[in-house]
């Protein structure tokens, strides 16, 4: 039995004394204890070594006592498992030396056996669960198929993902084959994560906002819906689409347990667009953690009042930035724990 099930209760829409809180990318780069490991081990070594991944996952829980832990990993372990080479270059980010640009490039792309290709993630979950000792729930995650496609086709990060969009619009058949392979792999992966011990899962559609509403339905949300349908009876599913406020109404009817909201969408609009019946998560601007701690606390309290304490998970509107002072991250968490109506 979990000692703190506040997060799971909020996902069910139950009445709570205060909303739960965690931060996207909380297991990582702003923590000095994480940086010590970063200096010793390269990125994918940290992801692929269960002892390291589990240690990084619990570091923020030890320091701040969030209401949920999120497994340290990366969305690009999926294309790696699908036989697509992915490197993480220092001061550059992800780099895929052989991007998928044609139907022929798809020939070597596989839907893998999860235990063979991603067994290290499942081992990390089991180790993390031992370290957490039922203190808080554990969240597993994956990137949306569209977001993964963006990297697979572009070959690296981009401000426009023009090559990825170009493939979808000039050769939709190839794009849809790739999207379906990613979706099938992601469903199998998340199911195994839940079986290994994850209490909830989150789908990150980081680049969904790059698409028009019509294209979003075809190239992103149709595939997210498949994932939600496959997982929702096993564990709560949170869908987070950055810049995707235009799809909130449809997302609210998808069967997801909660929807992530970024900082460009107000609480009032998010509640209105979703009909007020689904748990929302968000949406503090990560850069606002550079404000003085007293200001952070004031703004977080105001944010909770605007969303309402029920059917709400306090979080950032995207991942925490690397240069956030520890005291400021602490103020964010404390403001939620101290909240009273």
Where is the binding site for substrate, in residues?
A: 25-29, 44, 74, 151, 206, 318
DSSP SS3 for 262: coil
> Which pair of tokens denotes residue 53?
């991944």
The token pair that represents 318 in the structure block: 């995207």
Q: Is 143 exposed, middle or buried (0-12, 13-18, 19+ CB in 10 A)?
A: buried
The binding site consists of 25-29, 44, 74, 151, 206, 318
Ranges of H-type helices in 26-133: 32-40, 43-48, 50-64, 77-81, 114-132
φ/ψ of 39, rounded to 5, equals: -70, -20
Single out the residue of 97, 193, 206 nearest to residue 148, CA to CA.
206
Question: Any idea what DSSP says for residue 246?
Answer: G
Q: In 3D, which of 243, 202, 207 has the Cα closest to residue 70?
A: 202
Dist CA 329 CA 22 (whole Å):
11
Taking the chain, what is the end-to-end CA distance rounded to the nearest angstrom? 28
Query: Measured between alpha carbons, how far is 245 from 233 in angstroms, rounded to an integer?
Result: 25
Beta strands in the chain (DSSP E): 69-70, 87-89, 93-95, 138-143, 200-205, 237-241, 258-261, 279-284, 312-316
């Amino acid at each position: 039995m979990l000692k703190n099930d506040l997060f799971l209760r909020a996902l069910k829409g139950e009445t709570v004394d205060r909303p739960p809180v965690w931060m996207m990318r909380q297991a990582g780069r702003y923590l000095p204890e994480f940086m010590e490991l970063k200096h010793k081990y390269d990125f994918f070594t940290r992801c692929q070594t269960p002892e390291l991944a589990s240690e990084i996952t619990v570091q923020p829980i030890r320091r701040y006592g969030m209401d949920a832990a999120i497994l340290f990993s990366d969305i690009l372990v999926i294309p790696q498992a699908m036989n697509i080479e992915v490197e993480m270059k220092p001061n550059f980010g992800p780099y895929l030396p052989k991007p998928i640009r044609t139907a022929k490039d798809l020939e070597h792309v596989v839907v893998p056996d999860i235990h063979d290709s991603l067994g290290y993630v499942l081992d990390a979950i089991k180790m993390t669960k031992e370290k957490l000792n039922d203190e808080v729930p554990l969240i597993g995650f994956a990137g949306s198929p569209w977001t993964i496609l963006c990297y697979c086709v572009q070959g690296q990060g981009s401000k426009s993902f023009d090559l990825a969009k170009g493939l979808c619009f000039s050769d939709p058949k190839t794009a849809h084959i790739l999207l379906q392979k990613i979706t099938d792999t992601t469903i199998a992966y998340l199911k195994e994560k839940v079986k290994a011990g994850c209490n909830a899962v989150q789908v990150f559609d980081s680049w969904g906002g790059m698409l028009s509403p019509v294209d979003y339905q075809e190239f992103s949300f149709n595939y997210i819906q498949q994932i939600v349908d496959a997982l929702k009876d096993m564990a709560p599913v949170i869908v987070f689409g950055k810049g995707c406020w235009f799809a909130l109404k449809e997302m609210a009817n998808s069967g997801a347990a909660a929807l992530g909201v970024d900082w460009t969408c107000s609480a009032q609009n998010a509640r209105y667009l979703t009909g007020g019946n689904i748990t929302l998560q968000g949406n503090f601007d990560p850069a606002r953690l550079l404000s003085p701690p007293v200001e952070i606390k004031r703004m977080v309290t105001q944010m909770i009042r605007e969303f309402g304490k029920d059917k709400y998970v306090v979080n950032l509107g995207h991942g925490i930035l690397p240069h956030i002072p520890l005291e400021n991250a602490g103020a964010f968490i404390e403001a939620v724990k101290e909240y009273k109506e």
